[in-house]
Each structure stands twice: as C-alpha cells, then as structure tokens.
Structure 1
C-alpha cells in the first residue's frame, strides 16, 4: 500500500491571538507580516521587535513561522529591506515569502541557506515558472490559485522530467482574488493604491452593470460580476494530497482569531483523516457549517476541479453572508416565519437579504425561536429591525454564532498547551545502573536524561512497559503526547515513581528548550546591496522613439498611416498575427513585435507556437514560459514582469537577452525617476499613455453571463460576437476583452497619460516611450500618435497635450496615478 505524505498545514496570523489560535488548532506553520513590505498592510501585523519572542513561541510548539515580504520593493526602499531581512534571518524565521525578484537576489547574497518561498504574487502557473524560481534560489513555490489539480499534477510531471525538485504550495481555503495575484492593477488604476504593495481596495467586490453592444443587459439581482465565491478545498483534499502538494495554505491575515481557529481546526481534522486513509466524508454538514460561519461569500472549490464560470461567481453579493437559513414565509407582529435550513438559536445574529446588498440591510440578534409544525417563528428585540424594509421572500442568513465563537476562543485561551504534538521515548537500563531516557520529536530534536538513583531489583510491581507507559504519558501540561514508547529495560527492575515523574518533566523541559532555540542561518554581516546594484550610466543623446501598441488590424493600419516605426500587436487571436506582419512588411517602413497571452499554463505551448509562426521582428515577453520559449529571439520584457527596482532589472539584463524592459506600472513618476537613476536608462521603455489593464482573470465574464456554458468548450464564444463593458458605480464603462487562452482583461474605461513627465524622463535618458490603444478608432489612433510626436519634438507641452485630449471626451484621458506620489 502506498503511504501518503502529509502536507504541511499553513495558517494565517495577523496578530498574536491569531498566531495562538493557529498553533492550538493544529497548524504546522503560520505566515505573518511585519509593518512593512507585506501584501496585507491593513492587518494588525507584528513588529520587528516581536520576532524573537514570536519565533521562540512557535518553535517551542513545533510550528514554523514564515515572514511575508511579498510586495514589490521600490528603489529607495532596498536599503531598508536589507536591514529588515537581516533582522528576520537573525531571529530564526523559518522562511520568507517573496514576490520581488530583486529581493530574492538580495536574500541569497545575505545568506546562502536562508529559505525563500516564491509567493503566489510571482504568478507561477507552469513548470517553467518553477524553474525560474529555482534559478533565483527559492526553496518552495506557491502556485497561482488558478491552477487546477490536473494542472498541478501536470506541473509535477514536467518538473520530474526537467529534474526540478521544488515543493509546491497551494491555497486551500479563503478569499479568492478574481485577478491573477501579482497581475492586478485595479487598485493602482482607480486610486493609486497598489495591490502589489499590500493596499488592495477590493474593487472586485463592487457591483457592476454589464453593457453589451452598447445596451445594459438585465441580469436581475446579479450585480457582483467579478466577485468569486470563497475557496473551500475540503472535499478535494485527498486529490491534493495524492497530487503531492507539499503545503496547504489557508488565506486570511485580515481575519479574526476565531476564523483562524475555526478553519485551521476543520482542515487539521480532515487532513488527519486523509492521511489515516479514513473514508469518512470530509465536507460533513458540521464542517461546512463551521466554515460558513467562519466567513463565507458562498463556498466553492475554485479552480481545483477545472473551470466552471457559472459556479465560480454567483454575482448576487460580494460580502460575508454566513449560513443560509431559508426564505421568509410570513411577517406578522414583528415576527417572521421561516422553514429553517440550518440550526438557529436565541442570541444568534442574522441579516435579511432583499437582493440589494449594496444598500443598508436589516439584521440583528434573534431573541426567541419557537417551532410551529415545520416552521420556526423568530422574534427580535424591540426596535432592532426596521420592519418596513423586510419582505416576504427575503432570504435570511446566519452571520453570527456567539456560542461557536466562545468555543473557538477557548481553544487558544490561557497558557496551557491545547494542541499536542507527538514524541517517542526510549528507555534503557540494567540493575544497578541509572535509568536512561531518550525523547525525540517529529522534527528530529532529541534529548537524553538519566535518573539520579539506580535501578533496583523489584520485589513487587516491576517497571514493565505498561507501568512505564502509565507514568511517562502523563504530558497534559506540555505541548507533547506520547506516540510511542520503546523499553529496553531488563526484567524485574524498579525505580521510585518520583524519579519517573522527574525524568518525564526533565525530558519535556529540555525538549522544549531545545526546540525554542532560534534557527542559525548563515548571515553576511556586511551590507551587500552596493555590490549588487548596477552601474548607472549618463543619459544617452539619441532621439527618443515612440512605440505604438495596437489591439486590432484597423488600429495597426492607422498606426502605419501615422508613420509609426515600431509597432506592438496584442490580438485576441494569434492567428491574425501573420496578416499583421504582412501588412507591416508591405509598408516597408516599420518593425512589428507581437505579444503572446499574459498567462501560460501546462498544455498551452500551442498558443506560443502560433505566435512564433507569424515570423515577427520580435516578441513582447510577459511571463516565465515566454522567457524560455522565445529565448534566442529578439524580445522585450513587458510590464507584467514587475520590474520595480535595479536588482530586478539587472537580473533580467544579465540572464535574458532582452533588448529592453518595460518599467512596472506600479511606479509613479518619483519612483520611476529613482529607478532610472540607479540603472542605465537605456534598459527601459516607459508606457506613457494607456488604458490600464486592471483585472487579468481566469474568470470569463463573457462565458458566465452571455452563455449557459461552463468554459471555452461549450460557451459558444460570445467574446467573438459582442462588445462588452463593465459599468461601475461612478458610471465609467471599463472595457472587457478576452485572449487566446480565454482569459479576460478589464481595461480602465478612462485612459491615462504621463505626458507631463515626458520631458523630464527624456532628460534622464529614456529613449523609448509606448502608447497603447484598446478600443480607439483609427482616427483617434492617428490623432493621439500625432499629439505625442508634437510633445516629443517640444512643439506642445505635456499640459497642452493632456488638455487637448481631455477635451475630446471620447478619449477620456486623465492624468491617472502615474503622477501621484505614493
């Protein structure tokens, strides 16, 4: 029989209470952030001064602690990040979770053995991504949430074929981002708050209207078109374990300690069942109830079982609901009658759902529950509910269970350990010798103690294995339980019970002390940053070039008519690239570069082959698969590579033959200036005009709301027949487009420009500026190109360009976050 390898269970901790809740409910590791550089800046977080105490507590309890440094790091922050990392390494943190490629380099030069975990913010979706992470010195990769179990198995297979051995981690429970982590620019576009900087504004949880071919589509109460249900991988745990996943991660550093205790306990028990090959149901009604009460916008297996766009987003609400209780049958005398679908008792909190979650909803504590036949009559406190806003047919949700919360708090209250981990004890001894005890835990820690008095000949009740077991397993006030006792004692010996008790206490005390010692990673005491930074170079004097990115053939023809010399194409259908290349070659005056889709998953190299078959002059590379597939071809690194500092830029420049890099869209003008001053500016091109690609999603809005299909195989391809926008609460219509992998991008309905910074950037030595188009008409393309040429020649100012384009309301250009200092 093949034994299953137990995955590590990783729980979130945004505070000390959360850390205790995770430990006492069976987490093998926690992940946490400090007050800088982490993707949950709104969490309570820990301080650098907390680190030694936190790590001692965790290690004493046999739990690992992973520090999140999973944001992009800007140029002026590198020195601070170096000191921050030294503190973490010295404190014995077990690993750091990293997004920024430059920070991976910095860590590896600070310490050759300190573990790095590649964050899900690195957007790893393939074996090529794992290989890239390994080349950076990472010891583990957190895959994108969008990977199915079948794709995880394929990645594992391809890793084996390539002799890659990095363990893989996946999110198993919690909130799902609708956009690929590390590729969401929505908060940046709408408010200058970057999700890549831990400041996500959760625009995906807002309501949108679907505008199809210029007309609103009535979707009833479905308004939350981009808000996925919460991930619950409980029922697919056996498949995840079988797939060889090394670590199962629970999302929720912004959640309460009760949430952490609840979810961790459910998954600990379920995982133990899987490993024990117990065939009992995992997603029991009790387990589901507990998870829904912890936090739920609806629970679903996410992308684990493949793509089902009808199920992923129900679109009815975007906030916590909890447990569904039923619909209101009658309202009379400030009482409601309902056929309960779940348990309810006095003191529980409920909310009435009238189908308008964006409005203020009625709710409160239940005062009494009376059964009349199969109906429950619910009473509430006087004046708690505005009954004019409650209707027959409204749904009722249970949002609070004080009794459950109390039980959960008790699991981590006090100082006494409540979750115990196994130890094994061996005892040795001969007549006249001292009793020798050796204890070891599951992590390999080992201690040895001996009695103060010698073993004597027993007249009655010798120390047989049963009597030894009875004394040595009394570990109630320790973090241990006795899993196995092995006795090598000779027969007929005895030792006072007080001696056995002393040995037991001494063993556990020494084992705890040994476990609590900080990990001793190697650490370079010098500041390594100066030696890693590239040599800046003086600004070049060559005439700057204007690059135009188009997204259809009509725009391409317009760009040619406007005299563009370098054109990028990003089409939904890569088969059209051949025609685009022929058009450009016929003009005999421009170079054409084409872009593959931003995400590549196992089995999608056929798309890259289609792209390369067009024989373009070069390729816009956007992910790790592109870097590998197009190696040896002329390539330019796009914004999705997240180049935000000199260490990252230098890595790409040294290791990949890229002609240029596109600076990260997370950089404002001040940070971009810092980048250009710390690197040769000729390495970069700057996107100066665009509609920000906000959400980049596996979720297909076309399929979900314009078809009854589940994915590309049965949706009927509505993306090819309809023009769709998403109208937000301000009235702005954001443009929706699909790509060859059926992934959707939502482009900001309002274009933004960095025109007022252009002269400054030219003076710093930037020689390549990009302007991008999405849905603009050919005349708009020609006019916009003309205005930017005037700007580059100094014939108009940036202010004049912006004001001119702003006047033309169809362009809708604003300054955007490009000019906003953080």
Structure 2
C-alpha cells in the first residue's frame, strides 16, 4: 500500500457543486465569492454561505480554498481589505492569489491566511517558486504546459523551500500560458486576468489553409493514466478544472479520480478504463504537455462537448433504431445519476447554525450571558457587577449591536431573551469583553482577530520630465544606442540555452543595451539565463519573469518589472519595492486612464508606461501552425522552438484578424492585427511616470509606418517635449492604430 497520499482538489462553482465534491470524495474544494475571483461566470457563493460550507467540508475531512485570483485595482482595495478582515476569522484553509498587491497585503497584514499561488502566475521555473515563497506562498499551482520531468524538478525545489505543488490533471486547457492572455481583454474588455474571459480562442474562424475552423481549440487535459508518474514526481495536489461546470460533471470526474487513487494506493496499479470521464462535458482528452509530446492531435476542431459523439463512436450501432435506443438509455442513466446526487446532497446542511442567547442579572451581581446551540451551551459572566445608574441602559437593541459579530461566524442569533426587573448598566468595555469571550468559545477556543486598518499610501513627489525608452530585438537596430537621451532595451528569447554566447558578445560590445527578459523561461533555458546574468553582470535589466526578478534581487542587480507582470495597483508596486528591491515597473497594458489615476508610486521607484507597441495577445508552448498553415511534422521536436520562423493570420467570423508569429528561439505568439498607440497619456498624466516606452521590434502587423525607426523616435521625443503637432503627426505617420485598452480598461 502506498504510504503518501495525494490531495484530490475539486472545483466548486456553486453550493451544489461543493456539496457534490464532498459527496464524491474530494480532499479539498476551491470556490469563489461573488467578487475577486477568476470565474465570474460561475454562480459562486456569498460570504454568508461560506461559513456553513467550511463547517460541512471540515466535518467530512475536506478542506476549503477560496479564490481571490484576479488582478485588483486601487479602487477595490478598501473592499478587499474589508473582506480579508472577515476571512481571517473564518476557518478556510487557504486563499488562491494572483495579484502581487494581494500577496503583499496578505503577507504583511493577514498572516493568519494561508496563501496559494494561482495558475495565473504562470509558475514554470525554480526562481518563480523562490519568488513566491518570499511572499509567504505555501503552495504553487504549476503551469499546465509542463512535462512530467519539469514538474518533478520544480516539485523538488518547492519542497526544499517548504512549498507544496499543485498540478491540473483534468479539464479545459487554455491555448495560452495562463495570466499571459489578453485576447478577450482587447476584444471586448473581458479580461482573463479579471475572471471574465469570453474565450474568443474557441470561436469559429474562417477556414484556415489547413482546413480548420477552430484553429485555437485544444482538447481537454486528462492525466488519468499518468497518476504513477505524478506520484513519483512528488506532486502534492491533483487539481480538477471546472468551476463553471455543473454538479454532475464534478461528481463523475471527482468520483473517477477517487477510484483511481484508491486503486493505486491499495493495489499499486491503475484502472485502465476512463469511460466515466467521457460521460460529462469534454472536448476529448490529451496528455501531450505532461508527456512532453506536443503534437497536432492535441487540437480538436469543435469546441462543443465530445461526450455524445464518444458514446456513439464506441458503441457502433448497426441501425438507427438501435442508435436511438442506446442514446435514450444513455440519457436515462445521466438523469438517474443527477437524481441520485440531488437526493444525497440534500442531506448536506450548509445553513448557519442558530443559537439562543439569554441575558440576565441583578444590580450588584454579574451580568450573565447564556448561549445555547444545537450541540452545546455555555455561560459567560461579566467581571464587574451590574449597577442601576449609567449612560445607556442594557436593552435588546444595545445587546444586538454589541453581539452582531456573531452573525459573521458560522452561527446566527435566532432568539434573544432579556431578564431584568429594572434598568441596569454595565461599562461598554465590559460588554466588548463579553463579546470577545463568547466569540472565543464559538470559534473553537481561538481568539478572534481584530480588524486591520491598512495604512493609506501617500503619493510621492513629481518624478520630473519623463524620458523615452525603446525596445528592439535585432542586432541591426543597435545603432539606436548612439542616442544618449533614450534607454534601449533588447528583447531576449525564450530559448536561451543555445544562444548565450552571441548575446553576451552583443551586450559587451554595446554596453548601453539593457536586457529585456521574456515572460516564459523553462528548465535549461532558465538556467542558461542565469548563466547569462552571471557572465554579463548587467547594471540594470527589465524582466517579465519573476524567476529572473528573484535572481536579480539576490545578485544585487537593479531590475524593472515588465508589463507582463500585470502590475495594476499601488500595493503591487509596494510588493516589488519592499520585498525585492525593485527599482521600477511598467504598469499593466490592460488598465485604463481612470484606473491609473489613483496609483501611488513608492519613494525612489520609477513608473513606466508603454505608449506604442504591437499588442501581444498570448504566448503559447503549443505549435499553432498545425491548425493554420499545416506542418510536415506531427509533433514538436528539439529544433522547433530554436529554428522555426513562420508568420500567418487567422480571421474570426466578426472579421477580427489575428497575427500568429513564430521567430527563432521563441514560443508561438498571437498579436492583434493593429498596434497600440496612445499619445493622450503624455498630457493626461504627465506627473505619474518617469518614462514612456515604445516598442520598435520587427513585428509585422497591419500597422504601417511612414518613417524609419530613427524618424519614429524623433517624433516621440518631440511628443514628450510638448510639441503641439507631434501627436497628430504620429497618427498620420503610424496607422492604423488603436488605444482601446486605455479607454476601456478591465
């Protein structure tokens, strides 16, 4: 029998699904409230529901993790703090977090809450785990794109740092690395980083050259037959995706996985039948990422459920009558199961527990508060005696006001009795003391934590005239470095391992170049990036990868947080500054003018903003050309990322065009057809930024420029110098463009 047990973690989009997860044998369930979670389309639960859910779950040896996994705006911080002040007095087992500002608040002011790092943080290298541990994360959800040997290596690092690992083992795959997808945000204002993804990737497109109408639609993830490898890799939690799925889905999948785990523990072998998983919503299954075999069969040209089609495929009915009869029996089975689940979960009570309070006493004697629940009763006496003179006599209204905090627990005051012969008085502080003692007993002899007042942040002084910075990616453009008035960043590739020497030579020759690190650096490529840092020893870098940020901090290298770290509030900037000595940050490209207005920059910290760039919509480890133009290879090999260089476009039925770009040494990326240009911000918010940024990499889109790069730079410098005509000249010389994200925000 296997000694180590792996947690089975289930989704819970509503109360029925949470109850069903418990019924099916989940060890833990993750669910969200109506705000601050990345599944706004789920029904979610109220705070009032939460207490009863936690009580029910714990009674059945099931943990509850609450999702707070979105990026947060400054205007929402007061409501978030109010929520955290309530959550810290619940018995929830952890909160799942994406935003670095939320990490900062939790690790600094709400230490009683266990922190789990969301999949939205795209954790795929050891430095990122160390970064998150520095922020007191006790668990990380690893990127879904990782192979089992990569998971094993990262789990070893996590365990060495006192961190647990979660791996998604079933459910929908995102085509993009999570947290790095902006397609839904740009096209409709529904940000995936806000839990509002409208899934434009799964829409129907004009048929591609490869004959596909759903070129970005991947099969679902299933590691059902890979349990042994996950166990041997040391993974702590197996996570099932599906908070917008119904309770029948939760039951089938959790129950199937529970049976697989039990079989593995008891018999050291696996069940070889996964037919139960096909009986609920699925797009067929693949384990390509986990196996490290990224191939064309990971796609399916249909985003709808494959469940019925699979049933028909495996039964091979010889006549239409047999087919109809089989389908009727299949649907009857589903309805019978739903009825069974409904009947079972009706027995699970998540309502708050009622209590009765009786208040009694006489002048010259202690006040007696008697509390009675269904399971127990107890008395609390005041430490001073009642008197017949005072400021405010004890009455029902006063007592209810003093004891209203009870209604924030898993209990509620159903009935209250007062037994006084005459008006009596007690000091307010004594009533407060009684309240605390009552709550202490109701809370399992744990002290209730007083609300935290998070200090109000102050704005720093005007940073002065903003400077211009430029991003390039071609050695042919390094002559831009000759302009001493601008900072020049050079984009480094995802595939670092085989290009190190050439880059080091380039940076040593052109010492003004500043390295710009990408969002994704996996395995050997991350290690090669660290070797690059050690050999080059740059004075300053920009990084979109928190693993590189961690190592820059440890090495004493000045570093700037790139725009794909999704910094969107003042506390995320505080987090970067106070925890990692970050010298500056780019704000997220998603947030609007109004959402930027309230941001308060830390002292000795520079804030940057992009005003011209091609709009990166997603980054993908999968090959997209299988579905678009076709490829002679059936799966990716070691040379694909390093050598492949291709370009294509796809167009959806609303006539939105997207650019698919693959360059040597980089993963596949999708760009908006039209670039972002925002000249307004220079006058809208002139005192917020230390620098404005333009991206002059050679990324082909429908946006055309009438000037060479030197001319473009000159025009942008003129814009920053308050030339009244520069904005219109830029609009004339660079077209077409949009600035939608700046207008609509998230």
Which residue of structure 2 lines up, in the alignment, with residue 431 of structure 1? none
CA distance 1:305–1:521, shift in 2 (3 Å): farther
The answer to whether structure 1 residue 266 and structure 2 residue 188 are counterparts is no
Q: Report the CA distance between 1:200 and its aligned residue.
A: 0.7
**Do the aligned partners of 2:518 and 2:543 also contact (CA within 8 Å) in 1?**
no
**Do the aligned partners of 1:592 and 1:618 also contact (CA within 8 Å) in 2?**
no
**Do the aligned partners of 1:547 and 1:568 also contact (CA within 8 Å) in 2?**
yes
SS at match of 1:525: coil
Work out which of the residue numbers 249, 256, 280 in structure 1 matches 2:246. Answer: 256
**What CA distance in whole angstroms lies between the structure 2 residues aligned with 1:554 and 1:632?**
31
Work out which of the residue numbers 308, 332, 337 in structure 1 matches 2:294. Answer: 308
Which residue of structure 2 lines up, in the alignment, with residue 174 of structure 1? 171
SS at match of 1:73: coil
Which residue of structure 1 lines up, in the alignment, with residue 542 of structure 2? 620
SS at match of 2:650: strand
Which residue of structure 1 lines up, in the alignment, with residue 162 of structure 2? 165
Q: Report the CA distance between 1:544 and its aligned residue.
A: 1.7
Which residue of structure 2 lines up, in the alignment, with residue 341 of structure 1? 313
Deviates more, 1:569-578 or 1:45-54: 569-578
Which residue of structure 2 lines up, in the alignment, with residue 293 of structure 1? 279
Q: Report the CA distance between 1:785 and its aligned residue.
A: 2.5
Q: Report the CA distance between 1:218 and its aligned residue.
A: 1.9
SS at match of 2:635: coil
Work out which of the residue numbers 756, 768, 784 in structure 1 matches 2:680. Answer: 756
**What CA distance in whole angstroms lies between the structure 2 residues aligned with 1:208 and 1:239?**
37
Which residue of structure 2 lines up, in the alignment, with residue 568 of structure 1? 489
- Runs (5+) with no aligned partner, structure 2: 350-375, 377-440
Q: Report the CA distance between 1:34 and its aligned residue.
A: 0.6
After the TM superposition, which residues 94-113 of structure 1 pair with which residues of structure 2 at under 5 Å, given as runs? 94-113=93-112
In the superposition, the TM-score normalised over structure 2's length comes to 0.79
**Do the aligned partners of 1:709 and 1:715 also contact (CA within 8 Å) in 2?**
no
**What CA distance in whole angstroms lies between the structure 2 residues aligned with 1:799 and 1:307?**
49
CA distance 1:585–1:610, shift in 2 (3 Å): closer
After the TM superposition, which residues 390-539 of structure 1 pair with which residues of structure 2 at under 5 Å, given as runs? 401-414=331-344, 524-530=449-455, 534-539=457-462
CA distance 1:227–1:561, shift in 2 (3 Å): farther
SS at match of 1:529: coil
- 1:427-482 C-alpha deviation (Å, 9 max, x unpaired): xxxxxxxxxxxxxxxxxxxx9xxxxxxxxxxxxxxxxxxxxxxxxxxxxxxxxxxx
In the superposition, the TM-score normalised over structure 1's length comes to 0.72
Which residue of structure 1 lines up, in the alignment, with residue 466 of structure 2? 544
Q: Report the CA distance between 1:44 and its aligned residue.
A: 0.7
**What CA distance in whole angstroms lies between the structure 1 residues aligned with 2:126 and 2:508?**
36
CA distance 1:36–1:739, shift in 2 (3 Å): farther
**What CA distance in whole angstroms lies between the structure 2 residues aligned with 1:399 and 1:762?**
68
Q: Report the CA distance between 1:171 and its aligned residue.
A: 1.0
**What CA distance in whole angstroms lies between the structure 1 residues aligned with 2:236 and 2:737?**
47
**What CA distance in whole angstroms lies between the structure 1 residues aligned with 2:257 and 2:466?**
57
Q: Report the CA distance between 1:302 and its aligned residue.
A: 4.3
Q: Report the CA distance between 1:415 and its aligned residue.
A: 5.7
CA distance 1:61–1:415, shift in 2 (3 Å): same
SS at match of 2:271: coil
CA distance 1:770–1:397, shift in 2 (3 Å): farther
**What CA distance in whole angstroms lies between the structure 2 residues aligned with 1:662 and 1:179?**
22
Which residue of structure 1 lines up, in the alignment, with residue 636 of structure 2? 711
The answer to whether structure 1 residue 92 and structure 2 residue 91 are counterparts is yes
The answer to whether structure 1 residue 3 and structure 2 residue 2 are counterparts is yes
The answer to whether structure 1 residue 794 and structure 2 residue 722 are counterparts is yes
The answer to whether structure 1 residue 692 and structure 2 residue 625 are counterparts is no
Larger-Rg structure: 1
SS at match of 1:604: helix
Which residue of structure 2 lines up, in the alignment, with residue 734 of structure 1? 658
CA distance 1:628–1:793, shift in 2 (3 Å): same
**What CA distance in whole angstroms lies between the structure 1 residues aligned with 2:475 and 2:447?**
56
CA distance 1:112–1:814, shift in 2 (3 Å): closer
**What CA distance in whole angstroms lies between the structure 2 residues aligned with 1:80 and 1:310?**
45
**What CA distance in whole angstroms lies between the structure 2 residues aligned with 1:305 and 1:4?**
25
Which residue of structure 2 lines up, in the alignment, with residue 602 of structure 1? 523
SS at match of 2:314: coil
Q: Report the CA distance between 1:624 and its aligned residue.
A: 2.5
CA distance 1:189–1:259, shift in 2 (3 Å): same
**What CA distance in whole angstroms lies between the structure 1 residues aligned with 2:284 and 2:615?**
30
CA RMSD of aligned residues (A): 3.4
Q: Report the CA distance between 1:412 and its aligned residue.
A: 4.1
**What CA distance in whole angstroms lies between the structure 1 residues aligned with 2:642 and 2:123?**
27
- 1:575-600 C-alpha deviation (Å, 9 max, x unpaired): 7787788788878xx83112233212
- 1:762-795 C-alpha deviation (Å, 9 max, x unpaired): 2335434344544258845344333322321222
Which residue of structure 2 lines up, in the alignment, with residue 190 of structure 1? 187
CA distance 1:199–1:102, shift in 2 (3 Å): same
CA distance 1:158–1:61, shift in 2 (3 Å): closer
Which residue of structure 2 lines up, in the alignment, with residue 384 of structure 1? none
CA distance 1:417–1:379, shift in 2 (3 Å): closer
- 1:510-556 C-alpha deviation (Å, 9 max, x unpaired): xxxxxx976777664243421xx654212133x32111112334454
Which residue of structure 1 lines up, in the alignment, with residue 397 of structure 2? none
Q: Report the CA distance between 1:36 and its aligned residue.
A: 0.4
Deviates more, 1:614-623 or 1:169-178: 614-623
CA distance 1:717–1:313, shift in 2 (3 Å): farther
Which residue of structure 2 lines up, in the alignment, with residue 664 of structure 1? 588
Which residue of structure 1 lines up, in the alignment, with residue 402 of structure 2? none
**What CA distance in whole angstroms lies between the structure 1 residues aligned with 2:689 and 2:319?**
75
Which residue of structure 2 lines up, in the alignment, with residue 282 of structure 1? 271
**What CA distance in whole angstroms lies between the structure 1 residues aligned with 2:253 and 2:672?**
36
- Runs (5+) with no aligned partner, structure 1: 211-216, 327-339, 345-370, 382-395, 420-446, 448-515
**Do the aligned partners of 1:24 and 1:417 also contact (CA within 8 Å) in 2?**
no
**Do the aligned partners of 1:7 and 1:241 also contact (CA within 8 Å) in 2?**
yes
**Do the aligned partners of 1:708 and 1:715 also contact (CA within 8 Å) in 2?**
no
CA distance 1:617–1:738, shift in 2 (3 Å): farther
Which residue of structure 2 lines up, in the alignment, with residue 71 of structure 1? 70
**What CA distance in whole angstroms lies between the structure 2 residues aligned with 1:583 and 1:138?**
38
**What CA distance in whole angstroms lies between the structure 2 residues aligned with 1:28 and 1:241?**
16
CA distance 1:69–1:716, shift in 2 (3 Å): closer
**Do the aligned partners of 2:40 and 2:196 also contact (CA within 8 Å) in 1?**
yes
**Do the aligned partners of 1:639 and 1:664 also contact (CA within 8 Å) in 2?**
yes
Q: Report the CA distance between 1:686 and its aligned residue.
A: 0.6
**What CA distance in whole angstroms lies between the structure 1 residues aligned with 2:328 and 2:128?**
42
